[in-house]
Amino acid sequence: MSAWQSKMDQSFVGTYDGQEPNYYGITFPTDLTNGKYNNHIKFDEVTTAVTWSPDGSGESANKVVAIASGKVSKNNFNMALYFFVIQNNQPKVYISRTTNGDDLYFSETQNNDLKSGFANIFNN
* CA angle (74 as vertex; 4, 43 as ends), nearest 5: 60
Residue 79, beta-bridge partner list: 71
Q: What are the pLDDT digits (tens) for 69-114? A: 988 766 667 889 999 999 999 999 999 998 888 899 999 999 898 8
3-state DSSP percent of the chain in helix, strand and coil, to 5:
20, 35, 45
CB atoms near residue 73 (< 10 Å) = 13
CA nearest neighbour of 74 among 1, 4, 6, 3: 6
Whole-model pTM? Answer: 0.91
Question: Domain span at residue 73?
Answer: 2-123
44, 106 in Cβ contact below 8 A? yes
Residue 105, beta-bridge partner list: 42
Q: What are the pLDDT digits (tens) for 9-47? A: 567 888 988 899 999 999 999 999 999 999 999 999 999
Number of domains in the chain: 1
